[in-house]
Amino acid sequence: MNLEAIQRAMAAAVLQPLTADEGMRERAADGRAMSDVAATFIAPNSRLDAFERLEIYNRQYWFRILGALAEDFPALRAVLGSARFDALSVAYLTDHPSRSFTLRNLGSKLVEWLDAHPQFTGRRHALSVDVARIEWAFIESFDGAELTPLSLAQIAALAAESQLALQPHLQLLALQYPADTLVLSLHKHEKRQTSEAGIEHDEPDEAPLKLPNLRRRSTWLAAHRVDLSVYYRRLEREEFLMLAAIRKGKPLFEALESAFADSRIPEARRAARVQSWFNTWAQLGWICAPETPASE
């Protein structure tokens, strides 16, 4: 075996999910005995055979990525309970193994994966998807780029055909539940319960938390960063639609049309509402000039 073949064989073995008792599986994905697979590229030593040596890497890989995912989604873990969350995590990471040099990206596909796999979330499926979206928005907002914002005077000078941009760290969420307060509350609870070492793989199973009566209600939310801290801000439906249109690159007059399509806000009050939004956006530094392509 050359180096590339050894690396591929070891990666395939290490990426295989563990058994129920957290050991390495006896059979590889192709049906071969894992002891035979391990012996092709790992030599035994005086204390461990090839299978046992490979098992160390297999176990540590899974302990690390499962712990990292739990640290990124503590509210989702609390909503579902540790046993259901762990099963979900193994299934998700089997479908979407780590492909990045950083564990920060582990959960990048979780929201869309959850949406397509309701069997892992049960009766709390819609709420779980919302919670996962809020927690992933926190990560995206925390380390998203920041551009120079436009001042209120610059915004006031815009024309109807003007195109704008939003701060890259600003995340816009259309939710089925007003789950932001729940996530914030659960984060505080989990922070108190979790040591600096993070979630340990051998913690006892925790049942889903008893949640307050949370009724389904369309909710529009922005996650944004101020001075290295992430904050959530509720948005009006029309405000959300206008920001979403700006993000898509629509000129200002089209963004306004998108915002007030099917709106119940009386026309006489719309100008004042838009002015209030822009005042707030300017204070928060959300509005930027669109980036121009670099010249060749």
The DSSP bridge partners found for residue 219 are 175
Mean pLDDT of 58-73: 96
Q: Identify whether the C-beta of residue 206 lies closer than 8 Å to the C-beta of residue 70.
A: no
Segment 94-107 shows an average pLDDT of 94
Tell which residue, 254, 217, 209, 251, has the closest CA to residue 234: 217
Q: Is 213 helix (H, G, I), strand (E, B) or coil?
A: coil
Q: For the residues 44-61, what does the mean pLDDT come to?
A: 96
Q: Evaluate if residue 196 carries a pLDDT over 50.
A: no
Buried/exposed 44-69: b ≥16 CB within 10 Å, e otherwise: eeeeeebbbebbeebbebbeebbbbb
Picking from 136, 149, 122, the residue whose alpha carbon sits closest to that of residue 221 is 136
pLDDT for the residue numbered 193: 46
Rounded average pLDDT over 284-296: 77
pLDDT at 191: 56
The pLDDT of residue 272 is 97
- Contact call for residues 33 and 42 (beta carbons, < 8 A): no
pLDDT score of 292 more than 70: no
Number of H helices, E strands in the chain: 12, 5
Residue 192 has pLDDT above 50, yes or no: no
Task: Enter the pTM of the model.
Answer: 0.88
Quick one: average pLDDT of 133-155?
A: 95
Q: Burial-class residue 261 by CB neighbours within 10 Å (0-12, 13-18, 19+).
A: exposed
Per-domain residue ranges of the chain: 1-68, 73-143+180-213, 146-177+218-290
pLDDT score for 293: 53
- pLDDT attached to residue 190: 64
Residue 295 predicted with pLDDT over 50:
no
Stretch 18-26: mean pLDDT: 95
pLDDT in tens, 151-161: 989 998 999 99
Considering only 114-118, 211-215, 270-274, 286-290, which range has the smallest mean pLDDT? 211-215
Both tokens of residue 178?
A: 């007003």
